[in-house]
Amino acid sequence: MLLVRTIILFSVYSFLGWMIETVYCSVRERRFISRGFLIGPICPIYAVGSLFVLCLLEPFSKNFFLTFALGTVVCSSIEYFASYLLEKIFKKSWWDYKDYPLNFNGRITLFYSLAWGGLCLILVSFVHPTLTRTLRFIPNNFLVYYAVFFSIVFISDIIYSIHDVIQFNRRFAAVSLIFDRIDKMKNMIALSAGDKKLKLENELASLLIQQEAFIKNHVHKMRRILNSFPKLRVSKTDRLSIREIIHQHIVRH
């Protein structure tokens, strides 16, 4: 039953993490944002962090200051590693704190690190003890069925979401190529005259038609990831997010 209970705790903390992220980001952006890499209402990084924190900090649950301090360090380390890993795997910067004071490489910042410490204190002192007591009253058969069901859905979500991100990267690469060709064509038109300028203008009109068709057929398929990660960038050095790049070209042309 240890594995079953671990899966259940993983599912609960993933969902609670999704709720925290979604409520916070929705309030900040003043619109609903379903946060998370996966399609379902779960953020696995919160579950991984929670279970890791519980393994380390439960022995110190009576010492609030130590729980807060260690929780701050542990969660910040997990967030930094997750940011680095996602960037290396998917070639995108999924979040960036470079505009926040006291940030480290834009991956973590003191403000959120302290927030993680506070959440760890609440988790270890209140949430986890309450949840474990509640699970004792639920029949084991039900817990097993739920764990199996969640595992199937979770693995399916991971597979689909990875495929979704791969398709997202391909679509963005294709539309970026069109954007670049349009920008270069406009620069060439500005430096041309006569028949050459007329020819380039016709080519530009053709490119704009391609752009409109691509946006109509593909950009809506990118919307889930763009909405979940409004500040998603190709790299941390980019001034504009992918969402802003696409919007800028749509409005401009």
Provide the residue count of the chain: 253
Task: Let me know: does 191 contact 184? Beta carbons within 8 Å.
Answer: no
Alpha helix (H) residue ranges in 139-238: 140-190, 194-218, 223-228
**pLDDT tens, position by position, for the chain (253 residues)?**
789 999 999 999 999 999 998 998 888 888 888 887 788 899 998 898 899 889 888 888 888 899 999 999 988 998 899 888 888 877 777 777 888 888 888 889 998 899 999 999 999 999 999 999 999 999 999 999 999 999 999 999 999 988 888 888 888 788 778 878 888 888 888 777 777 778 878 888 887 787 777 777 776 667 777 777 766 766 655 555 666 666 665 545 4
**What's the CA gap between 71 and 59, in Å, rounded?**
13
**What's the CA gap between 105 and 4, in Å, rounded?**
38
pTM given for the model: 0.77
Pairing, β 108-109 against β 103-104? antiparallel
Task: Let me know: does 56 contact 191? Beta carbons within 8 Å.
Answer: no
Q: Please name the residues in contact with 204: beta carbons below 8 A apart, sequence gap of 6 or more.
A: 182, 185, 186, 189
Task: Let me know: does 50 contact 123? Beta carbons within 8 Å.
Answer: yes
